[in-house]
Amino acid sequence: MVWSGVLDKYGSYLPLASAARIITLNEGNTPLVESNRLAEFVAPGAGLKLYFKYEGLNPTGSFKDRGMTAAITQAVFEGANTVICASTGNTAASAAAYAARSGLRCLVLVPEGKIALGKLAASLAYGAEVISIDGSFDDGLKMVREIVKRKPIALVNSVNPWRIEGQKTGAFEICDQLGGVAPDWHCLPVGNAGNITAYWMGYQQYEQGLPRLLGAQASGAAPIVSGKVVTSPETVATAIRIGNPARWREAVQALDDSGGTITAVTDEEILNAWRLLAKMEGLFVEPASASGLAALMKLVNDGEVDPTGKRIVIVLTGHGLKDPGIAVREAAEPLKLPADINALEAYLE
């Protein structure tokens, strides 16, 4: 079968009107990569089956495309000609691409200086009007929620129910890829909390078993873990630099219903997990995407998660090339040699 995107494959699970014309970039169908080395590293001798859902391989490099195909399809169906979002970067890039594909005007509000280079570059390339505000993501979200009450513009943040509808297809794919069964644990980063809400909805609807959810927040941006709004969130994981998640209540409900938990990981733990993913598995992700692994390592270490014989899925939410700045900053300078075979041979000795 030719893959034509998540609405083509799973549309019957979404309340889309049959007359809606699907706007797709053939998102979804991302690989579920089984761990080759990290499972044994994380839990030696435990027989852990660890898998990575590599969402960075979506058309704009993050899982946001799953929700955006649904949100833009619905916006076009309803006759919108302008869409808007606030974004830490990936929603902006995704909205910009799907808007370009359907001829919509697209405005994105981003926190000044806090958006990774690859995300900004893509949003601009797709022709979005990028507006940098001297505030946080949370400030931007407040602005866009208000402007859509005043102007006929469609809001495509994950407060839009169609984003959740599209993103829940990630849960369907994981069950299909595991051969018709949900994992024991499902680990993922939590920012605005749309994705954790969507996955829980998806697992419930697909009826192939329910995982326990393990949410990860960055310790400098951990409102759900601490139970209070963070007014100046700070973390290297810019995609989850959010102090007041729009779907906070839904996330807590999903965590409770699943018998799961949410924990905060430091930037150091996030970058350690980020290095391990690249150097032990060949999986290059943006920092936020490594926080699920960081959280799992922490809770296995603390004895809060028993990995013995378990099947655990970690969602890698965005591609490493989204944030080249961090990769360059964390790396050693490349070695310099004369263009001479003897110099290379000498180096190898």
Ligand X SMILES: *Cc1c(COP(=O)(O)O)cnc(C)c1O
Shorter beta-carbon distance to ligand X: residue 46 or 321: 321
Q: Is 68 exposed, middle or buried (0-12, 13-18, 19+ CB in 10 A)?
A: buried
Residue 58 as a binder of ligand X (CB under 6 A): the answer is no
Residue 94 as a binder of ligand X (CB under 6 A): the answer is no
**Contact mark string toward ligand X, 3..32, x via CB under 6 A:** ------------------------------
| 3-state SS assignment for residue 95 | helix
* In the block, residue with structure tokens 């979506």: 58
Shorter beta-carbon distance to ligand X: residue 64 or 298: 64
Return left, alpha or beta for 5; rule: phi > 0 is left, psi -120 to 50 is alpha, else beta.
Answer: left
> CA-CA distance, 291 to 30, in Å (whole number)?
19
> CA-CA distance, 304 to 15, in Å (whole number)?
38
**Contact mark string toward ligand X, 209..238, x via CB under 6 A:** ------------------------------
**16, 71, 115, 193: residue in contact with ligand X (rule CB under 6 A):** 193
**5, 140, 194, 233: residue in contact with ligand X (rule CB under 6 A):** 194
**Counts for the chain of helices (H) and strands (E), in that order:** 15, 10
**24, 90, 160, 263: residue in contact with ligand X (rule CB under 6 A):** 90
Dihedral pair phi/psi, residue 215, rounded to 5°: -90, 150
Minimum separation from the CB atom of position 45 to ligand X (A): 31
Minimum separation from the CB atom of position 286 to ligand X (A): 5
Shorter beta-carbon distance to ligand X: residue 24 or 244: 244
**Contact mark string toward ligand X, 95..134, x via CB under 6 A:** ----------------------------------------
> CA-CA distance, 19 to 12, in Å (whole number)?
13
Q: Which of residues 284-303 bind ligand X (CB under 6 A)?
A: 286, 288-289
| 3-state SS assignment for residue 48 | coil
> CA-CA distance, 30 to 158, in Å (whole number)?
21
First to last CA, the chain: 52
Minimum separation from the CB atom of position 285 to ligand X (A): 8
Shorter beta-carbon distance to ligand X: residue 24 or 58: 58
Q: Is 131 exposed, middle or buried (0-12, 13-18, 19+ CB in 10 A)?
A: middle
Q: Is the CB of residue 189 less than 8 Å from the CB of residue 289?
A: yes
Residue 190 as a binder of ligand X (CB under 6 A): the answer is yes
Shorter beta-carbon distance to ligand X: residue 169 or 195: 195
Site for ligand X, rule CB under 6 A: 62, 64, 90, 158, 189-195, 239-240, 286, 288-289, 317-318
